[in-house]
Structure 1
Amino acid sequence: MASDPASLAGTPGRRRCFGDGDPLYEAYHDTEWGVPPPVSDDERELLERVCLEAFQSGLSWLTILRKREAFRTAFHDFDPARIAAFGDDDVQRLLRDAAIVRNRAKIEATVANARALVAMHAAGERLADVLERHRPAPRPQPPTAQEVPGSTVQSAALAKELKRRGFRFVGPTTAYAAMQAIGIVDDHLDTCILRG
Structure 2
Amino acid sequence: NLRCKGGKPASITVKVASKNPIINSMDIQSHETSLQKEIMEKSRKAQEEDKKLGKINEENEDDSEEDVEELKRIEGISEPKHKIVYSYPIEMGDCWEPPKDILQDRKFPNLLRITVMTPFIDSIADAELDINEDTLMFKVPDIYDLMIKFKYRVDPDKGSAKFEKDKKVLVINLPIIGVTE
TM over 0.5: no
TM-score, normalised by the number of residues in structure 2:
0.21
| Higher normalized helix content (fraction of residues) | 1
Which is greater in Rg?
2
| Bigger strand fraction | 2
TM-score calculated relative to the size of structure 1? 0.20
